[in-house]
Structure 1
Amino acid sequence: MDHRCDVNGTVLFLDERGPADGPPLLFVHGGPGNSCWDFMSAVGDELAARGIRVLGVDQRGVLRSDSLLEGAELTVNVLIDDFEALRRALGIDEWTILGHSAGGGYALDYALSHPDSVSGLILDCPCLDADATDRFRLPRAAALLQDVGKTSEAEKCVALAASPRRLTGGDRSWEVMQALGDRYLDLFVAGREGRARYERLIGRAPEDLDWAKGVSHLPLLHDMYRDRTPSLSSLSVPSVLLHGEGDLVAAPSVIEAYRAATGGDVVTIPDAGHFSYIEQPRAYVEAVAGFMNAPKRRAA
């Protein structure tokens, strides 16, 4: 069921599936500027069939939600305020938050600022420090660029990965990686089958979806370079980290920082990259439902 919800002076699009009395799960998309469309299309019904009340929201300014007002400020804190206002509007006492990619950072910030609203946190291939992500992913991008004969771009990737200072949004690392053209997607999926599954799903998207609205979230790219790993030790809600075996966004250093700080489980999904909910939906649903159904205890 689709809703349009008035929240904090804007209207958000909400895709709700599953029983109204089921444990609520809010999906927080990344991008910045993506949508909940792919997640809900891939696993929304399957999670709902497990008795979960699945809530997918297009963040303000994105896709089916209202466009940002001219001159309106957009920050991660604005998004967090929207999530909390949405929870209250829906009459939900507490919910599980599932944040994917950059949305993992937003979800972590929300859980830290509103712990009483959160029963559990699922970090899905989270980008909690884009400097670590870039240093992990850029060498892979360099190898692919060499494969397609773009030597100068490959050398730029190697140089960025070896930078003695922290990388920032100002380095615009994604631009040199996008020189891969059609092969840029290979940085996000595991092999030909993963790519085929991703392309089949995206090919089913309605033609009237205005994906270009996502550029309104480009200012949030700089926030992705804020290292959130030190804040993991302050997390008081039960949590789990999911990642595809071939994911290049949740760097090993970030995964180890999560494990050391929280003691939470890390679930690795084989034969998947950054979009394991598309590439391996059955294993993904099992992991999410397993976490939501498990007994939970908050940190002291």
Structure 2
Amino acid sequence: MLMEIRGTRLYVDQRGPADAPALLYLHGGPGSGTYDFLAFQGDALAERLRLIAVDQRGVQHSDPLEGPVTEHDLIADYEAVREALRIDSWTILGHSYGGRLALRYAVTHPATVDQVIFENPAWDMELVTRTLLLAGRPLLRELGLDDGIEELLADNGPATAEMWTARTGLLARLADRRMEIYLGPSSRDLKLPADDLPDEIQNRAGRFAETIFRTPEFVESLLPLLAEMTQRALLIKGEHDPVTSPTEVARFQSDVADGTFRRFDGAGHFVHAEAAGDYTRLVTGFALRA
């Protein structure tokens, strides 16, 4: 359904028993939307949880973006949705870029965020884009498309919008083969359902991304916030995920006071799709221990 939230209409999908523990899903991208996650996990997680999934403003089935947007705006939107649904507090689950938002949300709203689940999060954009380039380098070399990659890897930051554009732009040379670096070896034939959505819906992702990555918040390293978390936290990492760097994993393990790390062997960036059954059981069990 579409909900009037802070001057726009957000698409909010609710599933599961109204009296079950609430779990909010924060999608990645930037600009990916909730459609894919719900296709793989929506009904399964809703068997025992009250699942709420929100298309961020300007994304997918929410109203098209008008004006600026920041990460702080997105968190304010989530809080407004929570209040509108009369939920006192909830567990939050952030995938990829959504894991970045989840960390900000948890630290800034400890009274309304009970627990946090991160799936292959992007907390430091210099490290994330470096890890992506390293993952894509073998395929780029195989295709003869690696010109300039070593110069980009020589830049140790700090992250900037220009760095993001240059590094992700180089990976864009992979075109239809780019998905190969995001998936585990046994998942290479995985199809994401959102690819079949109308172009008008899919194209909203580009405008959202172009807007958000020009903001100072987007390139700020959030690694220092890990030590500020007061909630129980679970970090889910796919063995072949090209986004979350080893440094970020190590910082989670050393800095989060009540953190659990779970690696999914064989999976890549989309653990919720590549290992759907085990993922459902892990997330449900964690959320029910609130």
TM normalised by structure 1 equals 0.90
Residue 139 of structure 1 contacts residue 158 of structure 1 at CA under 8 Å; is this kept in 2?
no
Residue 35 of structure 2 contacts residue 194 of structure 2 at CA under 8 Å; is this kept in 1?
no
Paired with 1:57 and 1:202, the residues of 2 have a C-alpha distance of: 15
| Matched AA of 1:235 | M
| Higher mean displacement: 35-44 or 211-220 | 211-220
Alignment gaps of 5+ in structure 2: none
For the structure 1 residues 278 and 144, does the alpha-carbon distance in structure 2 shift closer, same or farther, using more than 3 Å as the test?
same
Paired with 1:235 and 1:200, the residues of 2 have a C-alpha distance of: 33
Paired with 2:192 and 2:136, the residues of 1 have a C-alpha distance of: 24
Alignment gaps of 5+ in structure 1: none
Deviation at 1:225, TM superposition (A): 2.5
Residue 241 of structure 2 contacts residue 269 of structure 2 at CA under 8 Å; is this kept in 1?
yes
**Deviations 1:132-159 (CA, angstroms, capped at 9, x unpaired):** 1122221221211111122xxx142222
Could you say which residue in structure 1 is the equivalent of 2:4? 6
**Deviations 1:165-217 (CA, angstroms, capped at 9, x unpaired):** 334221211111111121111121112x31312x16446x4447611011222
For the structure 1 residues 202 and 61, does the alpha-carbon distance in structure 2 shift closer, same or farther, using more than 3 Å as the test?
closer
Could you say which residue in structure 1 is the equivalent of 2:266? 271
Deviation at 1:10, TM superposition (A): 0.9
Could you say which residue in structure 2 is the equivalent of 1:118? 113
Paired with 1:163 and 1:206, the residues of 2 have a C-alpha distance of: 37
Paired with 2:192 and 2:202, the residues of 1 have a C-alpha distance of: 17
| Matched AA of 1:88 | E
Which runs of structure 2 are paired with 1:1-300 in the superposition (5 Å)?
Answer: 3-49=1-47, 51-69=48-66, 72-150=67-145, 154-171=146-163, 172=165, 173-191=167-185, 193-197=186-190, 199=191, 201-202=193-194, 205-207=196-198, 210-218=201-209, 219-222=211-214, 223-263=217-257, 264-294=259-289, 296=290
Paired with 1:208 and 1:185, the residues of 2 have a C-alpha distance of: 19
Q: Secondary structure at the match of 2:203?
A: helix
Residue 64 of structure 1 contacts residue 209 of structure 1 at CA under 8 Å; is this kept in 2?
no
**Deviations 1:52-92 (CA, angstroms, capped at 9, x unpaired):** 011111111111111122xx220011111100000000000
Paired with 1:100 and 1:131, the residues of 2 have a C-alpha distance of: 18
Paired with 1:230 and 1:31, the residues of 2 have a C-alpha distance of: 22
| Matched AA of 2:203 | A
* Number of residues of Structure 1 aligned to a counterpart in Structure 2: 284
Deviation at 1:40, TM superposition (A): 0.6
| Matched AA of 1:96 | T
Residue 126 of structure 2 contacts residue 157 of structure 2 at CA under 8 Å; is this kept in 1?
no
TM normalised by structure 2 equals 0.93
Paired with 1:106 and 1:227, the residues of 2 have a C-alpha distance of: 12
- Give the ranges of 4+ consecutive aligned residues of structure 1 lying more than 6 Å apart after TM superposition: none
Paired with 1:114 and 1:165, the residues of 2 have a C-alpha distance of: 29
Paired with 1:164 and 1:256, the residues of 2 have a C-alpha distance of: 19
